[in-house]
Amino acid sequence: MSTLFIKGTVIGYNYEKWQNDPESLASWLICIVETWHTAQFRATGEFLIDHPDEVKRKYGEVRGAIQAFTNDVHSLSVCYHQMLYVLNDRITEVGLKTLYLSNLVESYVTNVRTIYDLMAVFARIVVNTEFLKLRVVSTDSLSDLLKTFENKHKWSTEIFSEPVVSVFKNMRKSLNIIREIRNSIIHDGKEPIVTIKNGLAYFRIPKTINNPYETSLPDLLDLKTPDYPLFPYLQHITRSLFTHMDNLGKVIGNDAHLKDNDYRCELPVLIGICIPEFIKFIHRDYKIEPDKHNDE
């Protein structure tokens, strides 16, 4: 089906197809936010429930975050597909390939970082509307939300519930990693350096200009080398992100069911031209080896 669409969201799968279809991307968080959106808004965008203006404003921001979230997940699939295309292209010369891949790595990391912040916006779904006016509740920064959870744990569990607070706090390590990588690129001006050796792409982010062979990247694959295999490294980051997405979706869904026994979750999926390859990428079993052709 996905080859008929550039990208989109489909609702109406049964559980077996939702779980196993190799051409559509499923996540519990996608299910939860799309179900919430359907319960709050008409197809034309009007609210189905008459909320106070402040609640409408905060829920409108959640609606915008849902659209941004699905777009960013799609962007990950497109970005990976572009990287694969560039790497396998037999016409483009190697210098241009590495330049293209470097820019795509930057885009990929930026999208992952943005998705983490969008998950902080989705936390509003579980709280009583009276608390939405509080800035610490309606933050659009995961870092700020985690600071509140860590500094005001008891208060946070009363507002958000213990399971929701716990699943967010478990994101701290992954958030710190992706922040470190993105900040190296965006704020510190360090450019990802991609090399292609024997048809495989490796990358590093130099720690300093004077020492380009020392990387500032976290050694997520435990390879103890300045160059990391590109796709296994990005896969590690992506798997962590999707695990957090699923865990958050499950606890928000459980919270909704506890409040309403009749709660039913839709099973939407993301489809598109680039989705099948992206799904293969997430589940691929890479044989990970350090770069043995180091140019140090």
Task: Tell me the C-alpha distance between 129 and 133, whole Å.
Answer: 8
- pLDDT over 60 (residue 296): no
H helices of the chain, in order, are: 15-20, 28-40, 53-88, 94-122, 142-151, 153-160, 162-169, 172-186, 230-259, 275-283
The SS3 call for residue 43 is coil
pLDDT digit string (tens) for 26-36? 999 999 999 99
Average pLDDT over every residue of 104-110: 96
pLDDT digit string (tens) for 204-216? 998 876 766 778 8
Residues 6 or more apart whose CB falls under 8 angstroms from that of 99 comprise none
Task: Tell me the C-alpha distance between 112 and 123, whole Å.
Answer: 18
Domain ranges of the chain: 2-283
pTM of the complete model: 0.93
Taking all residues of the chain, what is their mean pLDDT, rounded to a whole number? 92
**Long-range contacts of the stretch 94-100 (C-beta < 8 A, 24+):** 94/196, 97/194, 97/196, 98/193, 98/194, 98/195, 98/196
Average pLDDT over every residue of 92-112: 95
Q: Find residue 194's DSSP bridge partners.
A: 203
pLDDT digit string (tens) for 110-156? 999 999 999 999 999 999 999 999 999 999 999 999 999 999 999 99
Least confident among 63-72, 110-119, 144-153, 186-195: 186-195
Tell me which of 42 and 12 has the higher pLDDT. Answer: 42
The SS3 call for residue 109 is helix
